[in-house]
Amino acid sequence: MAYVATRGGARAIEQAERLFRTEMGAIDAARVAEIRAAMPYLIDRVMGEASLYDEDIAALALAQTGGDLYEAVLLLRAWRTTQPRLQVAEPVAQDGLFTHRRISAAFKDIPGGQLLGPTLDYSHRLLASEVLTGTPFAPKPVDAAPTPAPATQPSVAAWQAANDLVDLPEPDMTRPDDIPDVTREPVLFPSKRAHTLQSLARADTGGTLALGYAAMRGYGKAHPTVNELRLAEAEVMVKHPKGTEFSAGRVKVSQAEVVSKSGDKLSLGFAATLGWNEVKCISAATLDLNSKGAAKGSATEEEFFLYHTEGVESSGFCIHFKLPHYVTFQSSLDAMRDANAQKAAPQTPDQEPAE
């Protein structure tokens, strides 16, 4: 590769980094704590894309990069490699999730009912501009119900299966340690479903939305309806050295099922991610729903969407074009000049290309 055909500039590079960091000023624990407390959805998005769950570390990455999401995710993915993997937890099952929000756009009378949970879905989006003129915005407290919602909610798909609308899958009995893992093996196509879902779980939200939106607008074969959308907390079930299983704590997860008519049954698309990120899950589930039999090179074809929604690779490839390409570009320029010179030169018989 001849991308870096330059020498020198160490001082300028040092000063450029200082200039970047000067704008953000000193970073201390208080700033990190404030970012964590004030921006939970941004923290969730970064943790999901980094595929690393820790709110403090995610907030630190955001503080250190001034909120540049691609840089923050890159920092976290790099830092992750310094940590040993201690265990693989027991798989999370939908019916064990501590549920904060569970809705269906396909059926209104789902078992367990519809819980809107924390959302702005039905709210006016008005900028609280008075904050800038000295009037703080204080959210009204929730008027809590006298009795709690059930901690867990039944699966909509299981209810549909009972009504012969979908076929419930056989449970995958793969041992946790044997589940295919894109952090340890390459994704090959056609992709294993475990690779596809893991890649979508850590995919770039914007990229996933762009391709999912293309499918929703008609560039896919199936129009999605949200069968079930859930924001929840999952117990991280680990093992004590004596074999006792226990929860090391809860983490926020989101999952979406989208549904479309397929013959005399419904077909489902699925996606989930660490943190609460509904747009990514619905978009990713739409891609999953549309991927079967998708045309090569289309937005809904597995190879296309998995390669193009990997945020660290795609942003890295994009920004590498800023780095010196003097040799490769000079070569293109030379070829262009040669071609122009040949065109401009008077044609003589002995200059014609050989047959």
Partner 1 sequence: MPQPDTKWSHSDLLSVLARSAPDALKPFAEGLMPQLGDLEVLHSRTGLVMLPMRDTAQGTAFHLGEILVSEAHLRRGPHEGYGMRKGRDLEAAMAMALVDLALDAGLAVPNCQAFVAAQHRLHEDEDRATLCRVEATRVDMETF
The CB-of-218 to partner 1 minimum distance in angstroms stands at 22
When the beta carbons of 114 and 314 are compared against partner 1, the nearer one is 114
CB-based burial of residue 199 (10 Å sphere; 0-12 exposed, 13-18 middle, 19+ buried)?
Answer: buried
Q: Whole-number minimum distance, CB 298 to partner 1, in Å? A: 20
The residue (of 89 and 165) whose beta carbon lies closer to partner 1 is 89
Task: For 325-349, give the secondary structure using H, E and C.
Answer: CHHHHHHHHHHHHHHHHHHHCCCCH
Q: Taking the complex as a whole, how short is the minimal distance between the CB of residue 148 and partner 1, in angstroms?
A: 3
Question: Closest separation between CB of residue 72 and partner 1, Å?
Answer: 15
Q: Measured from the CB of residue 147, what is the shortest distance to partner 1 in angstroms?
A: 6
Report the residue number, 155 or 205, with the smaller CB distance to partner 1: 155
* 295 DSSP 8-state letter: P
90 vs 325 by CB, closer to partner 1: 90
DSSP lists the bridge partners of residue 250 as: 235
- CB half-sphere exposure, 213, CA atoms < 13 A: 8
Could you tell me the smallest distance in angstroms from the CB atom of residue 21 to partner 1?
24
Q: Which is nearer to partner 1, 273 or 309 (CB)?
A: 273
How many CB atoms are located within 10 Å of the residue 180 CB? 16
One-letter identity of residue 342: Q
State the DSSP H helix or E strand holding residue 172, giving kind and residue range, or none if neither.
none
Q: Given the complex with partner 1, which of 204 and 235 has the nearer CB atom?
A: 235
Q: What is the largest CA-CA distance in the chain?
A: 96
Nearer to partner 1, 54 or 303 (CB): 54
In eight-state DSSP terms, residue 353 is P
Pull the structure tokens for residue 57. Answer: 């570390």
Judge contact between 265 and 165, C-beta under 8 A: yes
Min. distance of Cβ 211 from partner 1 in angstroms?
18
Residue 110 C-beta-side C-alpha neighbours within 13 Å: 24
Residue 112: closest CA among 172, 170, 154: 154
Q: Quick one: 146 or 297, whose CB is closer to partner 1?
A: 146
Closest of 75, 49, 77 to residue 64, by C-alpha: 75
Least distance (Å) from partner 1 to the CB of residue 65?
A: 18
Q: Of 92, 90, 57, which Cα lies nearest the Cα of 255?
A: 92
**In this structure, what token pair is assigned to residue 23?**
């704008």
